[in-house]
Amino acid sequence: MELALQSLPALARASLVTVGLAAASMAAGLAIGLVTALIRIANIPVLSHLMRAYVSIIRGTPLLVQIYLVYYGPPQFGWSLEPVPSGILALSLNVGAYLSESFRGAIESVPKGQMEAAYTLGMTYWTAMRRIIVPQSFRTALPTIGNSYIGLLKDTSLVSVITVTELLRQSNVIIARTWQPLTIYLTAAALYWVMSTMFSYVQQRVERRVSRHV
Amino acid sequence: MDLSVGKYGFIRSATILVVIAALAVAFTGLASAQSTLERIRLTGVMRVGLEGTYPPFNFVDENNRMAGFDVDISNEIARRLGVRAEFIGTQWSSLIAGLQTDRWDVIIAQMSITEERSQSVDFTNPYVITGAVLVSRANDNRFSQLSDIAGYRVGVGIGTTFEEVARSVPGADVRTYDSFQEYTQELMTGRLDVIINDQLTMAYAIKDRGLPLKITSGVVNEDRIGIAVKKGNEDFVALLNQILADMIADGTYRQIFQKWFDAEPVLQ
């Protein structure tokens, strides 16, 4: 117990890195996911195939392999990203692919009549998407977005393999010194759980808010 | 509203992917031609790749700073180069990949000089000569020589010389781990019968942490530990060899060694 308290400041500091990685990747991932979903639904030639290949590759390969590739791949071509940006890039590309499917499902679940009604009001396809369809789809997409975020929060632990001192790597570093894996991993697990729970609470509030007129 | 997706088909997607791959390969030509020594001199920093979880050679201390024998050696080398050392901790299996992709300039992390590794990196002369030993639980007298591990569960670090030594014994049930704390823990909890690791590291861990373990054999394999440098940096390797020789000759090396170990260094 004493060791858990002693190591708490260092682990808490590393948790900030974990939250930062998750938040930055989620922000980028949301943008990637929405754009990908829109391109695929609009069936834009070439682009929509690229996006389909992107989603298929990301979903079909392990995140750990993607992280290694983003970190160790580009330097072979004389272009290299620092560990934290590499981690954020890999995580955003990953979560973006999953989110694009959430968005696609949510957008497609908006009744067809909505688009037809928008057309009769003289809206173009993209105006209707922006003002009628996408806003309605957000409510449907929210639970799966929340799910993705909590998954992402824990996936950040994989970034420890590319020298980023986030919560898991910090735990291993402390274990190397103290030889107390049980205590340290339990403390780390508790911190992950606290972060996820705090987020779940925020998500609940948001969901209630966007559903209040339904 | 047209929500359909697959108007074009797989072949088109595949073609696009091939074009992207070709572009990526085309960029290979842009790889930098700068040598390691040039880069260190230019930036004033020597970036050292190590585990950071291998006390007393390299670990993170209570103040969250990298410490240990390797760290002191690195700092001394950097001082003599007129630069400062920066430490990057990562797991063992990534050390060579990071060196080859210029994530760090040297590996100073208790890496033994082996023929296999010499195909991917260049080594300096050894800066530590040490040896692998068998370690068992304190009340276990079954292991006194290497051949005794046949038929038992043996824990070693993945991709280490200890793994090679373990695998050389027919019938040994070799299990690999990422960090030495993991397999040491497994030995204590009884999921392993014996482990193979460096004598200096194990002596330190048993004494410093009071682990209920003992070194139960003599040296089963000598390890010559070198500094690894990216291939094609002969000038830098020669300079490091000169610095190491100077450090051994003027007593600095012995001083650093005895700060961490109650023993005379093999290198004199």
Per-residue tokens: A203: 């998500």
Mutate to test the interface with B, among A6, A8, A38, A49 (most CBs of B within 10 A): A49
| Cα A173 → chain centroid | 26
Query: What ipTM goes with this model?
Result: 0.79
Per-residue tokens: A194: 């606290």
Q: From CA A198, how far away is CA A19, in angstroms rounded?
A: 11
Q: From CA B136, how far away is CA A67, in angstroms rounded?
A: 37
B25 or B36, which is more confident? B36
* Alpha-carbon distances of B92 from A99, A158, B54, B89, B178, rounded to whole Å: 34, 15, 10, 9, 7
Per-residue pLDDT, averaged over B139-158, amounts to 96
Q: Chain B closest CA to A201's CA: distance in Å?
A: 33
Percent of chain B with pLDDT over 70: 88
Residue B4 has pLDDT above 50, yes or no: no
Buried b / exposed e across B27-58, counting CB within 10 Å, b at 16+?
Answer: eeeeeeeeebbebbeeeeebbbbbbbbbbbbb
Q: List the single residue in B with minimal CA-CA distance to A173.
A: B53
Residue B222's DSSP bridge partners are B131
Does domain A2-210 fall under CATH 1.10.10.10? My reply is: no
Domains in chain B and their CATH numbers?
A: 36-129+226-260 (3.40.190.10), 130-222 (3.40.190.10)
| Cα B54 → chain centroid | 9
Over residues B213-247, the pLDDT tens digits come to 999 999 999 999 999 999 999 999 999 999 999 99
Q: From CA A80, how far away is CA A73, in angstroms rounded?
A: 8
| Per-residue pLDDT, B28 | 46
Over residues A181-213, the pLDDT tens digits come to 999 999 999 999 999 999 999 999 999 988 887
Residue A119 has pLDDT above 60, yes or no: yes
Residue B33 has pLDDT above 70, yes or no: no
Asked if A197 and A147 count as a contact pair (C-beta separation under 8 A), the reply is no
Residue B128 has pLDDT above 70, yes or no: yes
Residue B10 at interface with chain A, using a CB cutoff of 8 Å = no
| Per-residue pLDDT, B30 | 45
A173 falls in which pLDDT band (50, 70, 90)? very high
Residue B155's DSSP bridge partners are B175, B195
Q: List the single residue in B with minimal CA-CA distance to A176.
A: B53
Percent of chain A with pLDDT over 90: 85
Residue closest to B86 by CA, chosen among A140, A82, A213? A82
Per-residue pLDDT, averaged over B54-60, amounts to 95
What is the layout of strands, in order, in the sheet containing B53-54?
B53-54, B58-60, B66-67
Per-residue pLDDT, averaged over A44-64, amounts to 96
Residue B66's DSSP bridge partners are B60
- The secondary structure of B117-134 as a DSSP string is HHTTEEE-S-SEEEEEEE
Q: Is the dihedral of CA B225, B227, B231, B235 positive or negative?
A: negative
Q: Which long-range contacts (CB under 8 A, 24 or more apart) does A199-206 make?
A: A199/A146, A199/A149, A199/A150, A199/A153, A200/A146, A200/A150, A203/A142, A203/A146, A203/A149, A206/A142
Q: List the single residue in B with minimal CA-CA distance to A3.
A: B62
Mutate to test the interface with B, among A119, A161, A173, A182 (most CBs of B within 10 A): A173
| Per-residue pLDDT, A160 | 94
CB contact under 8 A, A76 and B28: yes
Asked if A172 and A45 count as a contact pair (C-beta separation under 8 A), the reply is no
pLDDT averaged over every residue in chain A:
94
Domain ranges across chain A: 2-210
Phi-psi region of B232 (alpha: psi -120 to 50; beta: other; left: phi over 0): left
Per-residue pLDDT, averaged over A85-96, amounts to 97
B13 contacts on A by Cβ (under 8 Å): 49-50, 52-53
Nearest to B97 among A52, A72, A77 (CB): A72
| Per-residue pLDDT, A211 | 84
| Mean pLDDT lowest among A29-33, B17-21, B34-38 | B17-21
Residue B195 has pLDDT above 60, yes or no: yes
Over residues B61-111, the pLDDT tens digits come to 988 899 999 999 999 999 999 999 999 999 999 999 999 999 999 999 999
Q: From CA A137, how far away is CA B169, in angstroms rounded?
A: 63
CB contact under 8 A, A75 and B91: no
